[in-house]
C-alpha cells in the first residue's frame, strides 16, 4: 500500500495533538504533515519559502484545513488552491470549530470537498476523524493530478 | 461627524435673532407690518390730499374774492362817473345861454306868450342827444315853463318833480332825486338845478332832467368785465330803516324798488354794505342762497353796490378738484394696498418656500442620519458577528483540549488511575461538553436576533415531523407517542421556525424522558380569532407560580441532575415569536406536563 499523506493546517497546538491522536488511533494515514498558518500551507503546496526544496509534484492525499489561521485565513488558502491548476482538484476538508453559516457557505462556494465541525466531545471528534479518513483516503477514488 | 456639525450650523443659521421657526405666525406677524405701513401711508396721503384741496380752495376763494372786488370797484367807478357826467351835463345845460337867455327874456316879458328863443327846441335837442327821458324848466314859483317832450295835461309825478325843484331852489344847488318807481312802472331819476340869470346873481327858475334808469343806469351795470359767471350786481339805496334795491331787475323775484329789506338784516350783503361795510363778506341773498359778496358805497351817489356770487358756484371747482384729489388719494391708497398685499403675498410664499426648503433639508439630514445610524448598526452587527465567530471558534478549542486530553488520560493511563481520578476526569469532560453546548446555545440565541427575516409560506407540520424523526433517531430506545396536526401552514422565516420547533420539541422530549407512556403533541386551537399553536407533553411539567420565569435566559426550573440544559431554549423561542409579531406563553403543572402556546403575526404586523 502506497504512502498516504495528510496535510494538517492548524495553528492550535492542542488541536494538532488531538487531531494527530485521533488519526493515529484510526491508523488511516502513514504521514501527517503539519503547517501552522495559511502562508506556510501555500509554501508547502507550491514549494516556496521553507519548502523550496520540496517536490511539489508529490501532493498530499488530503488537506485538513482550519479556517481561523494566522497570516492567511483558511478561506483564502482554499481560494488560492482552487485558482491554481496544480491544486484545483486537491481534496480539501474544512475542519474547524466554527459553525457560522457564512463560513459553511463560503467554504462550499470556494470548492471545499467537505466541512467538518470539530465537536467538543473528543470521542465524537475521534469518530469524525475516523469517518473522514476512511472515506477520503480509502473509499474515495482520488482525482487525477496534472493537466 | 460631518453631518452632525452641518445640521447644527444650519439650525443656527435658520433662526436669526433667536426666533424659533415654529413660533412665528404668518398671519399675525405677516399682516401687521403691511397693515401698519398701509395705514401710515393712507394717513400721509390723506393729509397731503387735504392740504392740496385746502390750498386749492383758498386759491379759488382768493381768486373769486379778488374778481368780485375788482368788478365791484369797476362798476362802482362806472356808476360814479356816469353820475358825475350826468350831473355836470345838467349843470352845463342849466347855465347854457340858450337856456338862460330865453328864460330871462320870457320872465322879463311877464311870462306870457310863447317862450322865446325856441327854448323847447333846445331842450328837445338836449333830451334826444343825451338819452334823457324828459327835460323841464320851472320858474321861481315852480310853475312849469316848458318841458320836453311836451304834454297837455298834468302828468303823474308832476308833484314829485315840483318838490325836487323846490329842494333845488331851497338849497340853491343841484340836487338828485335818487331812484324812484315812476307812475308808469319805470325807474326814474331826476336832477334839479337852479337856473340863474346871465349875470349869475338871481335865480330864475329850476331846470329838471328826468332820466330813465333802464336807459342810462342799467346798461352801465350790465357791463360785466369778468369771466365770473352768473354773478349778480345789485345797486341799493337806503330808505328809512329799509334797504331798497335800485336795480337792475333781478332774474327772479320782484323788480327794482319794489323790494325792501330791513337795514338790520345781518346776513344780507346789501344791508351789510348799507351799514357801511366794505370789502368781501359772506352772506345770504334774497333767495336764501349763501353768497360771497364784494361790498361798497358808490362814491358821490346815495347808492351801495354789491357784487355777489353764489358760494355754490364758487365752490363748484373746489368740490370738483377736491373730489378729484379724493379720488387720487383713495386710488393711491388702494394701489399701495394692492402693491403691499402682493409684496406680502410674495414674501409669504417666499417664506413658505424657505420653510419647505428647510423641511426638505431636515428630511435629507434625517435620512442621512438614519443612513449613518444604519451603517453604524451594520458595523456594530458585523463586530458582533466577528465576536460571535471568535467565541464559537476560540472558546471551543480549549474545551476540546480539556475533553480530549482528559479522555487521553483515561485511555492511555487508565491502568494507573484509581476510580476517583477517573471520576474527576469524567467531571472535567462533562463540564467541558456542557460549556460547549452553552456556547452553541448562546450563539443560537444571538443569531436568532440578528438574522435577516425571510418571509415565506412554511409548513409547521412538516417541520415538526422532521424534527420528531431526528429526536427519535437520537434516542432509539425511547417510546414517545408523537402526534402532529397536519397542514399547519404559516407565513414566517422557515429557518427560525425550525429553530423554534426544535427548541420546543427538544424540551418536550427531554421533560418526558422519565415519563411512562410519553406523549408529545403539536396542534392548533382558536384563541379569540387567532390561531394559537401549541406543543404539549405529559412530562415533568413545571410549577405554575414560576411560569413568568420560563422565558428568561438562563432561568431554569429543573436541576441539571434531573434534566440537563442551560435555560436558553425558551428565551430563544420567545425571540423568534417576537420577530414574527406573535405572543408566547406556557401552561403547566408539576408532574402533569406542560403546554407552550405561541401565535404568529404577519409581515404587516412586524414592518
**pLDDT above 80: residue B17:** no
Q: Which residue of A has its CA nearest to B400?
A: A120
For A92, the grid coordinates are: 480539501
pLDDT digits (tens, 9 = 90+) for B328-371: 888 888 888 888 888 888 888 888 999 999 999 999 999 999 99
B404: chain A residues, CB-CB within 8 Å: 14, 18, 21, 122, 125
Q: Which residue of B has its CA nearest to A119?
A: B400
For residues B378-406, average pLDDT: 81
For residues A41-61, average pLDDT: 88
For residues B466-471, average pLDDT: 92
Put simply, whether B408 touches A (Cβ < 8 Å) is yes
pLDDT digits (tens, 9 = 90+) for B77-98: 888 888 898 888 888 888 888 8
Per the DSSP assignment, residues forming a β-bridge with B309 are B292
For chain B, give the mean pLDDT: 82
pLDDT band (50, 70, 90) for residue A112: very high
**pLDDT above 50: residue B20:** no
- Whole-number pLDDT of residue B519: 92
Type and span of the H or E element at B518: strand B518-527
Contact A14 B400 (CB under 8 A): yes
d(CA B605, CA B91): 134
Q: Which residue of A has its CA nearest to B395?
A: A97
- Whole-number pLDDT of residue B224: 61
- Whole-number pLDDT of residue B139: 86
For chain A, give the mean pLDDT: 86
Give Cα separations from A43 to A50, A60, A93 (angstroms). 7, 13, 19
Q: Which of A107-111, B14-18, B246-250 tops mean pLDDT?
A: A107-111
Higher confidence at residue B103 or residue B553?
A: B103
Out of A2-16, B146-160, B306-320, pick the least confident: B146-160
DSSP A29-86: -SEEEEESSHHHHHHHHHT-GGGTTS-TTS--SEEEE-SS-SSS-HHHHHHHHHHSTT
pLDDT band (50, 70, 90) for residue B607: low
pLDDT digits (tens, 9 = 90+) for B556-582: 666 666 666 667 788 889 889 988 989
- Whole-number pLDDT of residue A91: 92
A123: chain B residues, CB-CB within 8 Å: 407
Minimal Cβ distance to B397: which of A12, A121, A123: A12
pLDDT above 70 covers a percentage of chain B that reads 89
Put simply, whether B389 touches A (Cβ < 8 Å) is yes
Minimal Cβ distance to A123: which of B396, B407, B435: B407
Put simply, whether B396 touches A (Cβ < 8 Å) is yes
If you ran DSSP here, which 8-state letter would residue B76 be given? H
For the beta carbon of residue B199, count every other beta carbon within 10 angstroms.
8
Out of B105-109, B132-136, B459-463, B487-491, pick the least confident: B105-109
- Whole-number pLDDT of residue B25: 46
Contact B432 A120 (CB under 8 A): yes
- Whole-number pLDDT of residue B223: 67
SS3 B514: coil
Cα Rg, chain A, nearest whole Å: 14
Q: Which residue of B has its CA nearest to A120?
A: B400
d(CA B459, CA A144): 45
| Helix axes of B494-511 and B419-450: crossing angle, nearest 10 degrees | 150
**Interface subset of B 434-453, CB within 8 angstroms of A:** 435-436, 440, 443, 447
Residue B192: name the closest of B152, B256, B144, B149 by CA. Answer: B144
**pLDDT above 50: residue B405:** yes
d(CA A46, CA B153): 178
B447: chain A residues, CB-CB within 8 Å: 101
Put simply, whether B226 touches A (Cβ < 8 Å) is no
d(CA B465, CA B487): 11
**pLDDT above 70: residue B444:** yes
Q: CB-based contacts of B303: which residues, under 8 Å, 6+ apart?
A: B79, B179, B235, B236, B237, B246, B297
Put simply, whether B332 touches A (Cβ < 8 Å) is no
Put simply, whether B401 touches A (Cβ < 8 Å) is yes
For A115, the grid coordinates are: 466541512
For residues B471-490, average pLDDT: 90
- Whole-number pLDDT of residue B561: 61
**pLDDT above 80: residue A27:** no
Put simply, whether B404 touches A (Cβ < 8 Å) is yes
d(CA B267, CA B282): 8
Put simply, whether B432 touches A (Cβ < 8 Å) is yes
- Whole-number pLDDT of residue B462: 93
- Whole-number pLDDT of residue A107: 93
For the beta carbon of residue B123, count every other beta carbon within 10 angstroms.
26
Distance from CA of A113 to the nearest CA of B (A): 21
If you ran DSSP here, which 8-state letter would residue A143 be given? P
**pLDDT above 60: residue A42:** yes
What number of residues does chain A have? Answer: 147
Q: Which residue of A has its CA nearest to B443?
A: A100
> Which of A22, A102, A120 is the best substitution to test chain B (most B C-beta atoms within 10 A)?
A120
Place of cell 331851497: B170
Cβ burial of B47 (10 Å; 0-12, 13-18, 19+) is exposed
B400: chain A residues, CB-CB within 8 Å: 14-15, 18, 97, 118-120, 122, 125
- Whole-number pLDDT of residue B565: 66
B407: chain A residues, CB-CB within 8 Å: 122-123
Contact A14 B388 (CB under 8 A): no
- Whole-number pLDDT of residue B251: 59
pLDDT band (50, 70, 90) for residue A143: confident
DSSP B239-304: ETTEEEEEES--SSSS-TTS-EEETT-SS-HHHHHHTT--EEEEEE-TTS-EEEEEEEEPTTSSEE
A18: chain B residues, CB-CB within 8 Å: 400-401, 404-405
- Whole-number pLDDT of residue B1: 41
- Whole-number pLDDT of residue B29: 56
**pLDDT above 50: residue B10:** no
| ipTM for the whole complex | 0.77
Contact B435 A97 (CB under 8 A): no
Amino acid at each position: 500500500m502506497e504512502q498516504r499523506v495528510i496535510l494538517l493546517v492548524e495553528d492550535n497546538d492542542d488541536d494538532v495533538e488531538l487531531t494527530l491522536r485521533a488519526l493515529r488511533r484510526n491508523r488511516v494515514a502513514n504521514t501527517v504533515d503539519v503547517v501552522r498558518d495559511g502562508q506556510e500551507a501555500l509554501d508547502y503546496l507550491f514549494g516556496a519559502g521553507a519548502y523550496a526544496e520540496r517536490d511539489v509534484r508529490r501532493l498530499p492525499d488530503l488537506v485538513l484545513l482550519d479556517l481561523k489561521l494566522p497570516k492567511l485565513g483558511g478561506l483564502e488558502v482554499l481560494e488560492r488552491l482552487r485558482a491554481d491548476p496544480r491544486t484545483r482538484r486537491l481534496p480539501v476538508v474544512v475542519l474547524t470549530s466554527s459553525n457560522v453559516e457564512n463560513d459553511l457557505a463560503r467554504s462550499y462556494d470556494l470548492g471545499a470537498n467537505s466541512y467538518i465541525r470539530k465537536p467538543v466531545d473528543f470521542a465524537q471528534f475521534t469518530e469524525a476523524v475516523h469517518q473522514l479518513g476512511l472515506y477520503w483516503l480509502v473509499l474515495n477514488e482520488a482525482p487525477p493530478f496534472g493537466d | 461627524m460631518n453631518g452632525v456639525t452641518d445640521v447644527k450650523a444650519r439650525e443656527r443659521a435658520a433662526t436669526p435673532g433667536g426666533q424659533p421657526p415654529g413660533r412665528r405666525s404668518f398671519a399675525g406677524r405677516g399682516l401687521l407690518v403691511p397693515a401698519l405701513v398701509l395705514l401710515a401711508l393712507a394717513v400721509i396721503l390723506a393729509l397731503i390730499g387735504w392740504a392740496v384741496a385746502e390750498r386749492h380752495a383758498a386759491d379759488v376763494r382768493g381768486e373769486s374774492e379778488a374778481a368780485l372786488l375788482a368788478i365791484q370797484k369797476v362798476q362802482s367807478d362806472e356808476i360814479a362817473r356816469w353820475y358825475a357826467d350826468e350831473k355836470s351835463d345838467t349843470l352845463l345845460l342849466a347855465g347854457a345861454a340858450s337856456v338862460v337867455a330865453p328864460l330871462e327874456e320870457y320872465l322879463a316879458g311877464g311870462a306870457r306868450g310863447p317862450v322865446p328863443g325856441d327854448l323847447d327846441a333846445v331842450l328837445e335837442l338836449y333830451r334826444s342827444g343825451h338819452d334823457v327821458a324828459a327835460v323841464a324848466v320851472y320858474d321861481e314859483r315852480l310853475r312849469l315853463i316848458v318841458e320836453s317832450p311836451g304834454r297837455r295835461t298834468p302828468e303823474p309825478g308832476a308833484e314829485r318833480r315840483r318838490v325836487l325843484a323846490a329842494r333845488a331852489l331851497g338849497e340853491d344847488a343841484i340836487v338828485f332825486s335818487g331812484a324812484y318807481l315812476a307812475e308808469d312802472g319805470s325807474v326814474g331819476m331826476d336832477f334839479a338845478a337852479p337856473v340863474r340869470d346871465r349875470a349869475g346873481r338871481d335865480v330864475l327858475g329850476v331846470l329838471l332832467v328826468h332820466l330813465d334808469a333802464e336807459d342810462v343806469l342799467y346798461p352801465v351795470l350790465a357791463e360785466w368785465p369778468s369771466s365770473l359767471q352768473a354773478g349778480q350786481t345789485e345797486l341799493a339805496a337806503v330808505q328809512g330803516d329799509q334797504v331798497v334795491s335800485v336795480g337792475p331787475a333781478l332774474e327772479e323775484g320782484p323788480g327794482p324798488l319794489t323790494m325792501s329789506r330791513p337795514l338790520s338784516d345781518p346776513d344780507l350783503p346789501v344791508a351789510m354794505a348799507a351799514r357801511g361795510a366794505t370789502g368781501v363778506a359772506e352772506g345770504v341773498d334774497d333767495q336764501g342762497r349763501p353768497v360771497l359778496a364784494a361790498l361798497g358805497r358808490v362814491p358821490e351817489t346815495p347808492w351801495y353796490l354789491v357784487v355777489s356770487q353764489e358760494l355754490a358756484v364758487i365752490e363748484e371747482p373746489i368740490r370738483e378738484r377736491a373730489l378729484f384729489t379724493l379720488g387720487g388719494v383713495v386710488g393711491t391708497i388702494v394701489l399701495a394696498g394692492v402693491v403691499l398685499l402682493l409684496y406680502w403675498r410674495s414674501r409669504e410664499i417666499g417664506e413658505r418656500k424657505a420653510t419647505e426648503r428647510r423641511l426638505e433639508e431636515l428630511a435629507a439630514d434625517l435620512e442621512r442620519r438614519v443612513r449613518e445610524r444604519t451603517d453604524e448598526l451594520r458595523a456594530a452587527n458585523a463586530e458582533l458577528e466577528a465576536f460571535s465567530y471568535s467565541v464559537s471558534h476560540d472558546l471551543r478549542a480549549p474545551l476540546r483540549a480539556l475533553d480530549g486530553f482528559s479522555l487521553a488520560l483515561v485511555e492511555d493511563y487508565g491502568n494507573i488511575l484509581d476510580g476517583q481520578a477517573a471520576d474527576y476526569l469524567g467531571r472535567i469532560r462533562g463540564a467541558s461538553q456542557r460549556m460547549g453546548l452553552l456556547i452553541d446555545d448562546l450563539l443560537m440565541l444571538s443569531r436568532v436576533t440578528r438574522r435577516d427575516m425571510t418571509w415565506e409560506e412554511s409548513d409547521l407540520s412538516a417541520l415538526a415531523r422532521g424534527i420528531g424523526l431526528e429526536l427519535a433517531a437520537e434516542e432509539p430506545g425511547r417510546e414517545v407517542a408523537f402526534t402532529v396536526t397536519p397542514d399547519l401552514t404559516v407565513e414566517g422565516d422557515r429557518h427560525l421556525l425550525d429553530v423554534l420547533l426544535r427548541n420546543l420539541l427538544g424540551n418536550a422530549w427531554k421533560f418526558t424522558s422519565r415519563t411512562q407512556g410519553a406523549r408529545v403533541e403539536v396542534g392548533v386551537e382558536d384563541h379569540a380569532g387567532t390561531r394559537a399553536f401549541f406543543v404539549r407533553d405529559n412530562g415533568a411539567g413545571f410549577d405554575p407560580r414560576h411560569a413568568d420565569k420560563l422565558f428568561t435566559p438562563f432561568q431554569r426550573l429543573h436541576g441539571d441532575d434531573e434534566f440537563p440544559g442551560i435555560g436558553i431554549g425558551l428565551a430563544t423561542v420567545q425571540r423568534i415569536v417576537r420577530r414574527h409579531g406573535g405572543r408566547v406563553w406556557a401552561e403547566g403543572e408539576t408532574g402533569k406536563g406542560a403546554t407552550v402556546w405561541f401565535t404568529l403575526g404577519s409581515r404587516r404586523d412586524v414592518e
